[in-house]
């Protein structure tokens, strides 16, 4: 059994799941958000956080047990740029997540004010921009760029 293949496949699958959840959240977070949709968005956001955690866990396993060896990653600036982009994405999720939780606690009758939606959407748009960098850094790493 090729552990590197299994870890690479698992990493790609959870990353694709993460992007899918991000796209769904991006689509749901629109003006007019209210009622049951807030609860759906809250569940989606929680799943997004859970899958992001899986991306990290599988990624760490891949660094430790993958074919390249951890030494390749530690000295690779493309890897660290990718990690920085993922961290920035994670930090950009905090304000929308806190807002979504606050809206969900407000109850089924709550209608989210348009300015709060706009503020959260700005963070989602920033995340989308940073997300574009991650596969670029990953492609650079896969081709040997970034090695000191």
The parent domain of residue 121 ranges over: 3-142
Note if the pTM is more than 0.85: yes
Q: Is 148 inside any structural domain?
A: no
pLDDT at 110 (0 to 100) = 87
At residue 6, does pLDDT exceed 90? Answer: yes
In a domain, 112, yes or no: yes
Does residue 94 lie within any of the structural domains? yes
Note whether residue 101 is domain-resident.
yes
In a domain, 12, yes or no: yes
Domains: count for the chain = 1
CA dihedral 99, 47, 131, 13 (to 10 degrees): 180
Which of these, 35, 17, 41, 15, lies nearest to 97 by C-alpha position?
A: 41
Q: Does residue 23 form part of some domain?
A: yes
Residue 21 lies in a domain: yes
Axis-axis angle for helices 77-105, 114-142 (nearest 10): 160
pLDDT of residue 92: 98
């Amino acid at each position: 059994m090729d552990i590197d293949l299994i870890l690479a496949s698992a990493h790609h699958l959870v990353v694709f799941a993460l992007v899918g959840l991000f796209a769904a959240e991006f689509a749901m977070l629109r003006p007019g958000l209210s009622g049951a949709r807030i609860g759906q968005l809250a569940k989606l956001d929680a799943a997004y956080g859970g899958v992001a955690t899986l991306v990290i866990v599988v990624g760490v396993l891949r660094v430790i047990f993958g074919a390249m060896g951890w030494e390749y990653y530690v000295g690779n600036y493309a890897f660290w740029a990718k990690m920085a982009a993922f961290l920035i994405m994670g930090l950009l999720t905090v304000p929308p997540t806190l807002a979504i939780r606050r809206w969900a606690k407000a109850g089924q009758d709550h209608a989210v004010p348009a300015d709060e939606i706009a503020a959260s959407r700005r963070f989602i748009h920033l995340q989308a921009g940073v997300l574009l960098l991650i596969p670029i850094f990953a492609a650079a790493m896969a081709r040997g760029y970034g090695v000191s």
